[in-house]
Amino acid sequence: MAGFKIGRVTQDIKRELSAILRELKDPRISSMLSVVKVTVSNDMSHCKAYVSAIEGTEKTKESVEGLKSATGFVKRELSNRLHLRKCPELTFVADDSIEYGAQINQLLEGLHKDASEKAGL
């Protein structure tokens, strides 16, 4: 039973964090920042949010620094929106999965382009 609640809370936190990040006005935080993954501990006392920016890893790391300074505000907003008895401690982690996905997409487009050129020869 507890696994269902943790999964539900994890999805709720991810959804609300995405909405809260759009409202932050810190210039260090990228406007194209995305919450990739959220993990919550079994006792719901700690939460890791993996974030990634399209602009690259340097912008993601800069955004994480901005998020660390805004952790108190984000935690308060999260607590107000989700009505949790105890809001978990938030930790933001830089992730490069969006940039990696864009690189893979470029490689696939290049392969597709090469294949279509060879077929046309």
CATH of the domain spanning 2-96, picked from 3.30.300.20, 3.40.190.10, 3.40.50.360, 3.10.290.10: 3.30.300.20
For residue range 60-112, list pLDDT tens digits in order: 999 999 999 999 999 999 999 999 888 999 999 998 888 888 889 989 998 88
The answer to whether the CB of 36 falls within 8 A of the CB of 64 is no
Give residue 115's identity as a one-letter amino acid code. Answer: A
d(CA 76, CA 106) in angstroms, rounded, equals: 40
For residue range 23-66, list pLDDT tens digits in order: 999 899 988 899 999 999 999 899 999 999 888 889 999 999 99
Instruction: Identify the sign of the CA torsion 94, 61, 109, 107.
Output: negative
Q: Which pTM was predicted?
A: 0.81
pLDDT at res. 1: 46
